[in-house]
Structure 1
Amino acid sequence: MTKKGGRPSKWDEIMDDSKLTLVEGWKRDGLSDKQVAENLGVSYTVLKEWKKKYPSFATAIKKGKEVSDYELENALHKRARGYYYTEQTITNAGEVVEITKYEHPNPTSLIFALKNRIPKKYRDKQEIEQTNKNIDITLGDYDGED
């Protein structure tokens, strides 16, 4: 798409399939839209316009972000539950051996996950529904003295 007068648009100058793959990768790596715009040499406003105007660009942004989001969710889930992992270490005899270790659940990750997955049950502010019925309480012979 060239602009009127035959001058190529910024899109035509910059974007091709390899750049779309690069944009998707940047989003997968966790870069913000502002950082992607900077890497492309365009303003954040131009990037937002391209997302609206070019479906292939919007798809690349979305696909990369989804992968990153799932990786973050999986990492949080793993930290909240605890996990086993292997690592190499050197013994006193100079041998390299693999050992299995256990990373205990992280309470902060667990709290965060529960508050977001089951907010009605785990949010900080609990909402309690209260219904009052008009109940007539008669004190009988009570005269206020003990």
Structure 2
Amino acid sequence: MPAGRPTDFKPEFNDQVEMLCALGATDDQLATFFDKTEQTINNWKKAHPEFFEAIKRGRLKTDTKVADSLLQRALGAEWIEQKEVKLKVTEYENGKKVHEEERVEIVDLKKAAPPDTVAGIFWLKNRRPKEWRDKVDHNHSSDPSAPPTFTIKIDNS
């Protein structure tokens, strides 16, 4: 018979933890939500594989959406928006207005967002850190009154 008190884990915690993790909950926040310690959350992960899988599923759902959004921002995007446009037709005879007609049409507008350089660099630094890391060299002078000089080298090779 195992030592310690019986677990108060409930199977319905799996759905709850998946939703919480999809919203970005950390293990510490899960412990607060369930009114437990972080160690208890870790114990539940080991004792209940379905609980651990629910955590991974929830986090993966949101991480995937965020990664896709970041990638789209880095690449730039094009999309179609629909807009109502008021059209007015006026007829004249001998310089005098004889008829006027207005109507609203819905037109498709092609919109575009340019690629975002910062998002692209962030993506590459995380996906290819060896090629896109910032290397900072510090040069220190022996003269204490001289300002320090810094050389920043971005290694894109």
How high is the TM-score relative to the length of structure 1? 0.65
Give the CA RMSD over aligned residues. 2.9
In the TM superposition, residue 98 of structure 1 has moved relative to its aligned partner by 5.2
Percent of aligned positions that are identical: 32
Cα distance, 1:71 vs. partner?
Answer: 1.5
1:85 paired with 2:71, answer no
CA–CA separation in structure 2 for the residues paired with 1:37 and 1:99: 49
Q: Give the number of the structure whose residues are more often helix, by fraction.
A: 1
8 Å contact 1:28–1:67 — kept in the other structure? yes
Residue number in structure 2 paired with 1:63: 57
Q: Give, in whole Å, the separation in 2 of the partners of 1:23 and 1:58.
A: 9
- When you count strand as a share of all residues, which structure comes out higher? 2
Deviations 1:9-48 (A, max 9, x none): 321xxx22x3312211221222222222222232222112
Gaps of 5+ in 1: 129-146
**Unaligned runs of at least 5 residues, structure 2:** 88-103, 136-152
One-letter amino acid matched to 2:40: V
Tell me the number of residue pairs that the alignment of Structure 1 and Structure 2 aligns.
Answer: 121
Task: Measure, in 2, the Cα distance between the counterparts of 1:120 and 1:86.
Answer: 38
Supply the distance in 1 between the matched residues of 2:105 and 2:13 (Cα, whole angstroms): 47
Counterparts in 2 of 1:49 and 1:81: CA distance versus 1, 3 Å:
same
